[in-house]
Structure 1
Amino acid sequence: MTRTPPADGAAPRIAVINYGRTLDYPAMFPECADRLHVFSHHDLARTEGLAHYEYVPQCEAVPYAELMIREMAREQPFTHVITDNEYDLERAAHIRQDLGLPGQSRASALSFRDKAVMKQTASRTVPVPGFARLADFTDLTDFIAKFGHPVVVKPVKQGGSRDITVLREESDVVAFSRQPWRDDLMAEEFVEGPMYHVDAVLGEDYRFVASSRYLRSCLGVFSGQNNGSVQLRPDSPFARRLEAYLDRVLAAFDTPATSAYHLEVFHTPDDELVLCEIASRVGGDRIPALTALTYGVDLHATVLRRSCGLPVAPAPRTPPAQVHGSVSVLPQGRPVRAPGRPPFPWVRHYEVNDTLKPGEATLHSAHHLCFAIVSGEGPEQVEERLLETERWLMENLTDDEGVADSEKGH
């Protein structure tokens, strides 16, 4: 189904497939909220004044939003179809293509979503680890025979470090062979070294780039390590190197006129930058909050508004006075109570996850019992303060005896 797009300069009429739990579309689009049609994974608190709003349970897995957007377009054309969710990039692109609308193409969305396609594409301009799509278990054993241990096995379209397995020795391979096989896997060489992330919004007349280092490996959450990240100063030589690296990676891709990007890259002991992954969306976890505190940039509002041709404040040009970092305490797998706010003046924000079920275990890299954001003059001071905050939080966790006793009673 192809529809004639609205004429240039037409008042925006926007279809949104939303994922963010806290996004405020009336505030983000004040001049055209009454022309926004929002289908949301989560029930949003602020929806007044929207042209249409529906909370769609299991929205990621059901095609209802796609059907309704297409049906609405029969009555009155949309000017834009947008999403804040990585898992919706391909279907949003499909709708845009069918309706003749601007934005990321299906081929571009696939190249950022499918990790095997991503690695193949990026390898045109930057080094990537050895990798292979796995049709069956023999492909995995052949890959190990070629590259040796350790090997990373992961789904090609998953996120948040979900369902990733590191096979460090032959016993791990044997254990993995006892798990049900799935047909969406790839294998990848294990890369040594800390991981950095680069978060950007890039457009024809807009450029914002910020670089950070993960406090620990994202995979560490599955062995009980708390996670977080530390912002680099944007005027530091290594931050400039990472920004140039982002440009090299993107040179290999078909990129939309405006997009957000979340790049993860290893810095090896040999001082080489090796691609982990790149996504064409805003980074998750605490990245938007850290970016807003340091730079005053709302990543979600910026990319969604620019994608619809709407104005945003200019990207900051002067280095910030301070940078920030975050540390997230993992769910403990037992009923525990998070402490109150840490007693340090440089803690800028502290939040307890009140949606966590008692005794819940870690499910993905952004899962948390509580998290804190701290400020500092540079990454060294921020990391020192994060570790001090983490120690205080861990020492002040308490067993939630009321919940534990209640569970025993059942």
Structure 2
Amino acid sequence: MTNVAVINYGPRLDYPAMFPDAKDRLHVFSHHELKNTEGLAHYEYVENCETVPYPELMIRRLAREKPFTHIITDNEYDLERVARMREDLGLPGQSSASALSFRDKSVMKRVAARTVPTARFARLEVFTDLTDFIEATGYPVVVKPVKQGGSRDISVLRGDDDLVAFSRRPWREDLMAEEFVEGPMYHVDAVLGPGYRFVASSRYLRSCLGVFSGENNGSVQLRPDDPFAKRLEEYLDRVLEAFEVPEASAYHLEVFHTPGDELVFCEIAARVGGDRIPVLTRATYGVDLHTAALRLSSGLPADPPTTAAPAEVHGSVSILPQGRPVRLPGRPPFEWVHHYEVNEQIAPDAVTLHSASYLCFVTVRGRDAAEVEERLLQAETWLMEHLEDLPSA
């Protein structure tokens, strides 16, 4: 019988609702305090859960009392330690080697290059590795940590002045450099498992790096019958051919579409996409990505996704923290607005720390990607025009 240990990240995940047939066999250690934990076999909120080894210790101790059949997580930063525990306890699921290939971006690119084009890249051990890479490839160059997410700590060096400024920062030993690729970025979000296949493609409204220069970010879904969506789905399959993959997993793939009509690999994660991606997926397809991925990873069935074409697709735009105190407006007054939400957990004068930072976000619906994008820009303009500056404290 299923007995599952969970290291949870999502602050809104409702495990009793997601696992109504197995909630009394779930042992959940959570980064965030969850609202509904009724009926779980074990639940603990663990402060600093991502960095402390307490969940690993307790899961191993619980396994002595009653062996686990599965250990799962929804958090990219827990993939490796969960994989190690599986191997220690002889459980099925993603291996340590597989987890590393989806976490370490330099390893990831070496693996992906077996089947698809990737941007040129180099792991940086010392500063001269960076200058050598720039000499070989030219500017611009992207420098980023190999295991970070959400566009955190990324630098784009566009010329020598940027390199000099970068050289004044403390050097860190977890960096890589890669060639800057021109063109819009698309993301492909999937859950794959035995007898289960869901794949959806979208285009980022703007570059994820744009948030650090004040550009609001968002995403526009493609219709599943769009020829480019089909091309992206085939591309996902080619990428995954290069990797050791678990029997069941979610995937979040990011890919550039160059002016020369080439698809160039950026990154892939073995997890559900972040930001508004789960919200948009539920709105268009009725699929809860977290529920499907976590149930399949626990050896349990998930409701099959519909094969019918959706009547509409959706998109979202998030309004960035402004770095100054502002009062947010209410819901934009357009009938095609699907959802509007204010971030109650952020200070009015907060600054942008990563690509998922937001003061509020709006989702809209439309018959296709073009209409959705047009409406997103209209809603964004309305929200920005109705932000009200507050007196500084």
Tell me if both proteins adopt one fold, taking TM over 0.5 as the criterion: yes
Superposed counterparts of 1:6-405, under 5 Å:
11-401=1-391, 404=392
For residues 341-396 of structure 1, what are the alpha-carbon distances to aligned partners after superposition, in whole Å with 9 as ceiling and x for unaligned? 10001111000001111311000001000000000000000000000000000000
Q: Residue deviations 1:175-211, cap 9 Å, x none?
A: 0000000000000000000000000001121100000
Q: Offset at 1:309?
A: 1.6
Deviation at 1:400, TM superposition (A): 2.5
For 1:301-330, what per-residue CA distance to the aligned partner results, in whole angstroms no more than 9, with x for missing partners?
Answer: 001001112121112211100000000000
Report the residue type matching 1:239 in the other structure.
A
1:249-280: per-residue Cα shift (whole Å, max 9, x none)? 00000000001000000000000000010000
Query: Does the 8 A contact of 2:217 with 2:319 survive in 1?
Result: yes
Name the CA distance, whole Å, in 2 between partners of 1:54 and 1:313.
28
CA contact (8 A) 2:343 2:359 kept: yes
Per-residue CA deviations over 1:26-48 (Å, capped at 9, x if unaligned) read 00011111111000000111111
Between the aligned partners of 1:300 and 1:270, the Cα distance in structure 2 is 35
Secondary structure class of the residue paired with 1:260: strand
Q: Deviations over 1:225-250 (max 9, x none)?
A: 00000000001100000000000000
Give distance in 1, aligned partners of 2:34 and 2:329.
Answer: 28
Helix, strand or coil: the match of 1:117?
helix
1:5-41 CA distance string (max 9 Å, x none): xxxxxx1111000000100000001111111100000
- What letter corresponds to residue 342 of structure 1 in structure 2? P
Cα separation, 1, equivalents of 2:348 and 2:377:
26
* TM-score where L is the length of structure 2: 0.99
TM-score, normalisation: structure 1: 0.95
Secondary structure of the equivalent of 2:330? coil
Q: Number of matched residues?
A: 393
Query: d(CA) in 1 for partners of 2:323 and 2:269?
Result: 30
Letter in 2 for 1:28: M
CA distance in 2 between partners of 1:314 and 1:303 (Å): 12
Secondary structure of the structure 1 residue equivalent to 2:177: strand
Query: What secondary structure, in the 3-state scheme, does the structure 2 residue paired with 1:314 have?
Result: coil
Give, as a single letter, the amino acid of the residue that structure 2 aligns with 1:130.
R
3-state SS in 2 of match to 1:23: coil
> What amino acid is aligned across from residue 169 of structure 2 in structure 1?
Q
Identity %: 73
SS at match of 1:154: strand
Amino acid corresponding to residue 291 of structure 1 in structure 2:
T
Aligned-pair RMSD on alpha carbons? 0.6
Runs of 4+ in 1 over 4 A off after TM superposition: none
Answer with 279-288 or 351-360: which moved more.
351-360
Amino acid at match of 1:373: T
What's the CA shift string for 1:43-62, capped at 9, x where partnerless?
A: 11111111111101110011
> What's the secondary structure of 1:313's corresponding residue?
coil
Offset of 1:106 from its aligned partner? 0.4
Q: Is the 8 A contact 2:327 2:348 kept in 1?
A: no
Report Cα offsets for 1:144-175 as digits up to 9, x if no partner.
00000000000000000000000000000000
Runs of at least 5 residues in structure 2 that lack an aligned partner in the other structure? none
SS in 2 for 1:383: helix
- Other-structure match for 1:3: none
Cα separation, 2, equivalents of 1:335 and 1:272: 43
Counterpart-to-counterpart distance in 2, 1:380 and 1:335? 34
Structure 2 counterpart of 1:142, which letter?
D
Q: SS where residue 131 of structure 2 aligns?
A: helix
Structure 1 CA distance for aligned equivalents of residues 120 and 12 of structure 2? 38
Structure 2 residue aligned with 1:8: none
Residues 26, 42 of structure 2: 8 Å contact kept: yes
